[in-house]
Amino acid sequence: MKNLKVFSESRAAVNLQAESEELLVSALDVEQNRIFFASSANIIYGINLSASQQEMQWTINLCLQSELGLPPILEAEDRITGLDYLIEQEALIVGTSTGDLVLVVPTSNTVDVVGKVEGGVKTIASSPDGALLIVATGFGQLLAMTQDWDVLYEVSYDLDNNLETFMSGTRADGISGLSSPFSQVRVSWRGDGKYFATLGCSGNSEGLQRLRIWERESGTLHSSSEPKDFMEAAMDWMPSGAKVAAACNTSKTKNCASVAFFERNGLERGSFDIYGTTEAKIEMLKWNCNSELLAALVRYDEWSSIQIWSFSNYHWYLKQEWRYLGKNKLMFAWDPERPMRAICWTAYGLVHLLTLCWSSAVYDASIAIVIDGVNVLVTPLSLSLVPPPMSHFNIMFQSAVQSVAFTSRGLESHLAVGLSDGNLSIVKFPNMNMWDQLEGTVYETVNVDPGSLIKIEFGDLRHLTWLDPYVILGVMHCDGDQTSLYSDFISNNWRKCPLMSGGNNGVSILVEMELVCNNVEEVEPGCLSSSGWVVKSSMHTVIESSVVAIAANPMTRCEAFIQLGNGDIVSYMSKEGINIAPAELYKEKRSNLKGFLSYCPWMYPIPVYDYGKLKVLIFGLDEDGRLQVNGQVICSTCTSFSFYASAAGKVQEVVTHLIYTTRQDLLIVANIDEIFHGDVHYESMGNGQSPVGFGNKLQGENKLIREGNHDELKVWERGAKLIGIINGDEAAVILQTVRGNLEVIYPRKLVLLAIAGALVDKRFKDAVSLVRQHRINYNIIVDYCGWQSFVEAASEFVRKINNLSHITEFVCALKHENVMETLYKDILLPNHQDNKIECGSQIFLSNTDSPLEFGNQTIIKRLEPGNEIVSKNCKVRAVLEAVRKVLEEEVSKSPARELCILTTLACNDPPELEEALKRIKKWRETEIASTMNEVDGGLHKLNLSAEEALKHLLWLSEPDAVFHAALGLYDLHLAAIVALNSQRDPKEFLPFLQELENMPSPVMCYTIDCKLCRYESALKNIAAAGDAYFEECLQLMKSNPKLFALGLDIFKDVGKRAVILEAWGDHLFSEERFEEAAMAYCSTCSFQKALGSFRAGGLWKEALTMAGMLRLTTDEVSSLANDLCEELQALGKPAEAAKIALGYCKDVQGAINLLLTAREWLEALRIGFLYDMGELVKSQVKLAAIECANLLILEYEEGIEKVGKYLARYLAVRQRRLLLAAKLEMEGKAKEDVDDDTFSETSSNISGMSAYTLGKASNASGNLSTSSTGSHVRTRIRTRRKVHGGKIRAGSPGEEFALVEHLQSMVLSSRAQEELKLLLEALLLLGEEDVARKLQSFAARYQSCQLAAVKDAEDKLAEEQADGTAGTKNKNADNLKKLGVSDTLCWQWEMLSPP
C-alpha cells in the first residue's frame, strides 16, 4: 500500500540554434551526470544534470567545416538516427541515415568517422558492460561491433525479408522497404548482457510483427514471439531479465492500447491495458534500473503523457501521469543508476527532471488510499484488512490521479486529489461509523471550480497538504527565469519570502487555497459528496528554494512545516506565510524546527509529551535509509517507519512509540520518550547498523537506558515494509510483503501498552479482551497497578466484565508471581516501576510524588501496624477473596456464579477445598430437602446440581486432594460421592470407608487425621478416646516430636506428664541437644540420665553438680573427675581439663602440663609457684616456649618467601590477561565472546610454587599456632585451608583472584597477634630476650610483607575497575573477602624493636 509522488523537480532548457530545429535522440553519461541530445540540424548538445550546473551546455555542429579547413563530417541532407555514450572511451557514437558511424569526444571536441554501414543506421545500442555495440541497418541487418570497431558477426533481424528485398525497396507485404511505416527498430539488452531483443521492420501481409530474442556471443536467434500487432517499436527488456515489455495495438478488441510481457522463450506472459481512448498510441516503454517501475510514453490527439506503472499483488497500477499539452514530440529516459529519477524532454529543448519516491498510502485513522489511475482505492484498515487491488470502496475521477491529501480532524474527513489534467477534486466523507454502508461501491466525482486559480502547463500542484478542513496548501516549482510564466498568480495577494538557504535550484510557489462547499443538494447520510466545492480565495508565496516535503502541524490548525532542499525546516502559517521568527521564539511554541542532516522525502511531525508539555517532534527518512530527528540519526539502515499513539487517559492522541524496519529485516519498537530525552548509539548487526540504545544526547537530562527499552522482531519475509499502524487498543502493525499481500502482527510491547492504558482508564472489559486475544498472562491485570489497588477495584472489575466465564479464566490464571517483575520486566510501561515504596500510610510510585492512581480514582492502601500486606504470598488469597465477596453480594444467583465461586475457592493458595465441599454439601442437602418437601430450593431452580458442582471442583483440583478434603470433614458419605465421581475403583476406597464407619467416632477421626498428616488434630482426637489409648498417644508424640508440648497441655495427670517428659528428653538426647535433654530429665527427677546428658555435652560443672545431687562417694567423684578430664582433652579444651585436674584430682603436675598444651604460659608459672614447684615448672615452660618460638620463626620465614611468590605469580597472570584483552580489542572482539579459559592460558611453570599442590605452603598463614607441638599447628592449618577453598589451580579461570584471596587470608589475625604477644611476654619473663627479639623481628617482617602484597594487588584491581578496563574476570572483585587487618602492630614490644 504505497503511492508514488514527485518530491522534487527541476527544469533546464537546451538553447536550440534554429527555430525549426528538433531534438531527435539522446544518450546519458552516468559518470559525469550529463545528457546529450542530437538535433535535426545535426548538432549535438550536452547539458549537465547537476543542480548547480544546469546552465552549462556543450554543443558541436557536425555539419560545420572544421578549424583546419576540412570538409564537414555530415552533409546537410544527412540525419542523425542513433546516439549512444561509450563509457570506456568517454565518447559519443553517432549513427546517421547514410550509414556513417561518427565518434565524438566531448572533452576535446574531436570528431572522427570510424565506419560506414550500408542502408543507413536505424539504431545503436551498446551492451550493459560497454564491450559490444549493436547497430541496426536500414537493410535489415544487425552488426555486432567491438570497441575497436571490428565486426564480430552480421545477421538479418528481418527474417521475412532478405537483403535484396530491402535494396529493391519492395517488402513481402508489397510496401516500399525504405519508406515503410515499420522502419523504426528497437534494440534492448537484458540486464546481464547475455541476450538482446529486437522489434521493428518485420511484418507480414496483415502488418503483424515478431519480437525476437538474440544470443550475444554468436548472434543466433534464440527465440521469437508469435506474430502480433505491435505498436511502433515500443519495447524494453526488464533489467532483472524476467520479462520483455512491448506495446500492442488492441484497439480493435479492447478499444485501447495494451502492454504485453514476453519471456526469453518468446511466450507471452501477461498484459495490462493503457488508460485512454482508441486514439492513444504508445511510443516508448522504459523500465527503471531496479525493474520496479515501467514508464509508458502515450500520445493522444491533444496531449502526450508519461505514465508510470507499478506491479504488485498480480495487478498493474498507474501511479503517476504527467501530461504535456500540444503535439510537440515528447521523449523520456530513466537515470541508469538512480531508479527513482526520471528525465523527460520535448523536441524543442525543454528538459524536465523529476525525482520520485514511494509514500505510504495509509493516512490518519489507518485509512488506506491507494492511487490506481483514475481510481482511488479506499480501505479503512480498522474495518477491513484487504490488500489492493481489492478495497472497501472505490472513488473514480475524471483523469488520472497524481497526488492525494487526506484529513480527518474532528468529525469531518476530506480527501483532496490533484489530477493529471491540472484540476483539483475534493471528496467529503461521511462519519466513519457509517463507512460499512460504502462497502463495494464506486463513486464518481466532479472537479473543483478553480475560481481565481488558473490552470497552466507544467503547473501541477505537488505536496498537497490540508491545513484545515477547508484550507489546503500545495507547491509548484519553476526556475528563476520562468517566474514570468506565473504572472497570473502574482497579483494583489502574493508575497515573496526572504531568501532561504535551501539551495539555488529554481523557485517554489506555495499556493494556499481556501475552499468553500456550496452544495445545495441534500446528501444522504453515509454517502460521499464532491460537488459544490469552489476556491474562495488563494494566496501565493514565492520561496527561492525547492520544497521537498510539506506536513501539517498535528497540534494546531492552519500551520504546516515545510522542508527545503537542503533539509532545513520552516514554519508556514495560514494567511501569514513563512514564519521567520528566531528559533528561540518558536521554541516556546513547542518546537525548535531543527532541520535534517540531508533532505528527507519522508517527513512526519508528531505530538509528544515532554515533562507534561505537548510538543512537536519531526522525523525524517532520507534516500540512504537514515532515520533522523532533531539533527540526529536514529538508524542508518531504516526502510520504513510509522508511529503508535495511545490516548489512554489523555484528551489528545499522543504518539508514544516509534516503529521502524531495517535492511536486516528487523522490526524495532522504540519508546518516543527515550528518543526525545535519551541518546543513540549503534551496534553492528550483520552488514549494517541497528540501534540498541541511545547515546547522543538530544534534549533534556541524559538518562541511562534500561534494558528492554525497545523490542526487536525478526520480519519473517525478506523485504517486507511497514505501511501502517492501528492505534489504540488494536495495537496492530501492518506489513506489506514484496509480493503485495498484507500481514498484521501485534508487538508484545504495544499490546501491553494498550492493556496498561485500559487498566489506567479502568476499562477492565477491554483489558481482559486484549489479554484473551493476545494470550497475555492474566496476572498483568492485577500486577500492573498492584494487587492492593486491584482489591479496592474488585467490585468495579466484576461489574464491568459481566462475563462469569471470563472471570473464571482470570481466577484460574492467578499466581503469586509478579509478572511485572519477571515476565514483563524488560518492557517498560507508563505508571509502572519495578519498585514500589511505602510512604507513611500510602503506597507511592518510586518516580512520582502522588499516590498510585487506578483510573481517575486514587487508591490509598493503609498499612496497619503489624499487618504487612505487601507480602507476595497474600496476592492470590486477597484477590480471590475480594472477587468472591463481590460475586456473593452483587451478582445474581446463577449456575455460572456458583461455579465461579467454587473456582475462587479451589484456586486459592492453599486451596480451600473443605470450604468448597461444605458449599457442595449444603447444596446437596438443599436438593434432598426440596425433593422430599417439594419446596423450591433456589439452586435447584437454577438447574445446578451438587453433582455438577462436584465435577467442576474435581476438574479444577487434584481428585486425591478433594477426596482427602472430604475425609477431613469426617463425612464418609461425602467422601464416597467424591470417590465415585473421581472414577476411583470401589475396591480401593469402599473397604477403607467401611472400616472407618465401624470405628468409634474419636478413633475414626484419629485415623483420618493420621492419614491426612493432621497430627495435632489426631492427638486431640485420640486423647479424647480415653486412657486405653494413651500408649498410642505416646507413640504418636514420639513419631512427631513437635507434639510433646501439645501433649503436656492436654494431659494434666502427673504420672502421664512424667512419662511424656522422659520420652521428650530421650528425643532431645538423640538429637544431641544434651543440655535441654538434661533439663527434661531433671523435671522427672531422672538425675542419672541428666548426668549422662551433661557429660555427653561436655558440661563438666553441671555434671559435677549433678554428682552431688546423686550423693556420690569421694572415690566416685574422683573417678568421674578423671573421666571428665580425659573427655575435655579429647574435645580440645585443655584449659578446662586443667581446672578439673587441679581442683578435683589434686594433680598439680598434670594441670601444669595441660596449661602448657593450652598455651597458658603465665598461668602455668603461677600454679607452679603456688604449689612450690617454681624451678621445675620454670624449666618446663621455658623449653616449651622456646620450641614454639623456633617453630614460628621457621614458619614466618617460609611465609615471607611464599608471599613473594604469590605476588609475582599474580602480576604475571594479570599482565597476560591485559595483553590478551588488548589484542582482542584490536581484533574487534568483545571480551564476553571469549571463553574463560582463554584469559588463563598462562604458563604455571614457576619454580617453588608448591603451594598449589602441597599443604605446607599454607603454613604461612597469619593464624599460626604457638603450641609447643607441631601436630596441633598443622591440624589447624589444614582446617583453615579447607575453609578457604583448598588448592589454587594453575591456569584456571579463577587463578588470578584466588591468588589475591589467598594473600588476604595470610593476614595475622587478632587471635594470633594476642597469642604471639603472650609468648613474647613469657620469653622475656624466662630471660630468653634473644629468642623473643628474633621471633618479633620475623613476625614483623612477615606481617609487613603480607600487608604490602595485599595492598599492591587491591590497588591494581581498583585501578582497573575505575578505568572500566576490567575484564570478565574482574566482575567479582568487589566480592573478595576482606579480613580484619590491624594497621598498628599492637602485639610488638617496643623494647624488642630494633633501634
**Contact assessment for residue 733 and residue 744, using Cβ atoms and an 8 Å cutoff:** yes
**Contact assessment for residue 158 and residue 201, using Cβ atoms and an 8 Å cutoff:** yes
Q: Is the pLDDT of residue 243 over 80?
A: yes
Q: Is the pLDDT of residue 718 over 80?
A: yes
CA-to-CA distance for 697 and 1130, rounded, in angstroms?
A: 72
Closest-CA residue to 166 (of 125, 204, 138): 138
Lowest-confidence pick of 56-70, 247-261, 584-598: 584-598
Question: What does DSSP assign to residue 1005?
Answer: H
Q: Is the pLDDT of residue 1150 over 60?
A: yes
**Contact assessment for residue 852 and residue 785, using Cβ atoms and an 8 Å cutoff:** yes
Q: Is the pLDDT of residue 597 over 70?
A: yes
Q: Is the pLDDT of residue 296 over 90?
A: yes
> Residue 239: what pLDDT?
92
* pLDDT level of residue 828 (50, 70, 90 thresholds): low
Contacts 24+ apart (CB under 8 A), 990-998: 996/972, 997/972
> Residue 933: what pLDDT?
60
Whose cell is 460521499? That residue is 528
> Residue 479: what pLDDT?
59
> Residue 661: what pLDDT?
92
**Contact assessment for residue 615 and residue 593, using Cβ atoms and an 8 Å cutoff:** no
Query: CA-CA distances (angstroms) from residue 480 to 35, 341, 546, 983?
Result: 22, 22, 11, 94
Between 694 and 1228, residue with greater pLDDT: 1228
Alpha-carbon torsion, ordered 935, 938, 939, 941, to 10 deg = 70
3-state secondary structure (DSSP) of residue 834: coil
Measured distance between the N- and C-terminal CA atoms of the chain, rounded to whole angstroms: 95
Question: What does DSSP assign to residue 813?
Answer: H
CA-to-CA distance for 869 and 836, rounded, in angstroms?
A: 13
Residue 484 cell numbers, joined: 514570468
Q: Is the pLDDT of residue 132 over 90?
A: yes
Phi, psi of 1082 (to 5 degrees): -65, -35
Count the neighbouring beta carbons within 10 Å of the beta carbon of residue 903.
26
* pLDDT level of residue 641 (50, 70, 90 thresholds): very high
* pLDDT level of residue 630 (50, 70, 90 thresholds): confident
Alpha-carbon torsion, ordered 1144, 1146, 1152, 1155, to 10 deg = 0
3-state secondary structure (DSSP) of residue 660: strand
Query: CA-CA distances (angstroms) from residue 524 to 409, 425, 430, 527, 743?
Result: 21, 20, 9, 6, 35
Count the neighbouring beta carbons within 10 Å of the beta carbon of residue 726.
21
3-state secondary structure (DSSP) of residue 1374: helix
Closest-CA residue to 1109 (of 1078, 1080, 1081, 1087): 1087
**Contact assessment for residue 385 and residue 742, using Cβ atoms and an 8 Å cutoff:** yes
Pairing of β 303-312 and β 293-299: antiparallel
Alpha-carbon torsion, ordered 253, 259, 264, 270, to 10 deg = -70
**Contact assessment for residue 204 and residue 173, using Cβ atoms and an 8 Å cutoff:** yes
**Contact assessment for residue 843 and residue 851, using Cβ atoms and an 8 Å cutoff:** yes
Q: Is the pLDDT of residue 370 over 70?
A: yes
**Contact assessment for residue 1231 and residue 1370, using Cβ atoms and an 8 Å cutoff:** no
CA-to-CA distance for 7 and 28, rounded, in angstroms?
A: 23
Name the amino acid, one letter, at 830.
P
> Residue 1228: what pLDDT?
58
Q: What is the mean pLDDT of residues 965-988?
A: 84
Q: Which residues pair with 316 in a beta bridge?
A: 311
CA-to-CA distance for 15 and 21, rounded, in angstroms?
A: 10
Q: Is the pLDDT of residue 1159 over 80?
A: no
> Residue 943: what pLDDT?
58
> Residue 540: what pLDDT?
81
Cα 678 to the chain's mean position, in Å? 16
Lowest-confidence pick of 250-264, 351-365, 433-447, 1029-1043: 433-447
Q: What is the mean pLDDT of residues 488-507?
A: 47
| Burial class of residue 77 in the structure, from the number of CB atoms within 10 Å of its CB (0-12 exposed, 13-18 middle, 19+ buried) | exposed
Closest-CA residue to 630 (of 622, 618, 643): 618
Sheet with 151-156, side-by-side order of all strands: 121-126, 133-137, 141-145, 151-156
**Contact assessment for residue 349 and residue 13, using Cβ atoms and an 8 Å cutoff:** yes
Q: Is the pLDDT of residue 1260 over 70?
A: no
Q: Which residues pair with 725 in a beta bridge?
A: 733
pLDDT tens column, 440-479:
788 887 777 666 554 444 346 888 898 888 888 888 877 5
Q: Which residues pair with 1267 in a beta bridge?
A: none
Name the amino acid, one letter, at 954.
L
Residue 1052 cell numbers, joined: 494434666
pLDDT tens column, 1287-1345:
677 777 778 888 888 888 888 888 888 888 888 888 888 888 888 888 888 888 888 89
* pLDDT level of residue 1253 (50, 70, 90 thresholds): very low
Element (H, E) at 989: helix 986-997
Closest-CA residue to 667 (of 714, 720, 617, 609): 714
Phi, psi of 565 (to 5 degrees): -65, -25
Name the amino acid, one letter, at 1075.
E
Residues 6+ positions from 1065 with CB-CB distance below 8 Å = 1077, 1078, 1080, 1081, 1084, 1086, 1089, 1093
pLDDT tens column, 1074-1102:
888 888 888 888 888 888 888 888 788 88
Between 1266 and 611, residue with greater pLDDT: 611
pLDDT tens column, 517-531:
887 566 677 788 888
3-state secondary structure (DSSP) of residue 26: strand
Whose cell is 461425602? That residue is 974
CA-to-CA distance for 677 and 694, rounded, in angstroms?
A: 9
Q: Is the pLDDT of residue 898 over 70?
A: yes
How confident is the prediction for the chain on average, in pLDDT? 77
pTM: 0.71
Lowest-confidence pick of 584-588, 592-596, 1035-1039, 1056-1060: 584-588
Pairing of β 258-262 and β 268-273: antiparallel
Residues 6+ positions from 612 with CB-CB distance below 8 Å = none
Residues 6+ positions from 1226 with CB-CB distance below 8 Å = none
Residue 749 cell numbers, joined: 510491547
> Residue 143: what pLDDT?
92
> Residue 316: what pLDDT?
93
Q: Report the residue count for the chain.
A: 1395
Phi, psi of 802 (to 5 degrees): 55, 35
* pLDDT level of residue 1144 (50, 70, 90 thresholds): confident
Q: Is the pLDDT of residue 502 over 90?
A: no
Q: Is the pLDDT of residue 1027 over 80?
A: yes
**Contact assessment for residue 226 and residue 246, using Cβ atoms and an 8 Å cutoff:** no
Whose cell is 527427677? That residue is 1085
> Residue 276: what pLDDT?
73
pLDDT tens column, 194-213:
999 998 865 555 678 889 99
Q: Is the pLDDT of residue 772 over 90?
A: yes
Q: Which residues pair with 84 in a beta bridge?
A: 93
Q: Is the pLDDT of residue 533 over 90?
A: no
CA-to-CA distance for 45 and 14, rounded, in angstroms?
A: 7
Q: Is the pLDDT of residue 757 over 70?
A: yes
Q: Is the pLDDT of residue 148 over 70?
A: yes
* pLDDT level of residue 588 (50, 70, 90 thresholds): very low
> Residue 780: what pLDDT?
92
Q: What is the mean pLDDT of residues 486-493?
A: 43
Q: Is the pLDDT of residue 999 over 50?
A: yes
Residue 352 cell numbers, joined: 524536465
Phi, psi of 485 (to 5 degrees): -65, -20
Closest-CA residue to 711 (of 756, 744, 669): 669
Alpha carbons within 13 A on the beta-carbon side of 671: 23
Whose cell is 501481409? That residue is 205
> Residue 318: what pLDDT?
94
Query: CA-CA distances (angstroms) from residue 430 to 21, 409, 518, 525?
Result: 55, 13, 17, 7
What percent of the chain is modeled with pLDDT above 90?
16
**Contact assessment for residue 1170 and residue 1154, using Cβ atoms and an 8 Å cutoff:** no
* pLDDT level of residue 770 (50, 70, 90 thresholds): very high
pLDDT tens column, 777-799:
999 999 998 898 899 999 999 99
Lowest-confidence pick of 170-179, 561-570, 708-717, 1378-1387: 170-179
Count the neighbouring beta carbons within 10 Å of the beta carbon of residue 290.
13
Residues 6+ positions from 1300 with CB-CB distance below 8 Å = 1210, 1350, 1353, 1354, 1357, 1376
Closest-CA residue to 555 (of 604, 605, 619): 605
Whose cell is 614457576? That residue is 1246
Q: Is the pLDDT of residue 192 over 80?
A: yes
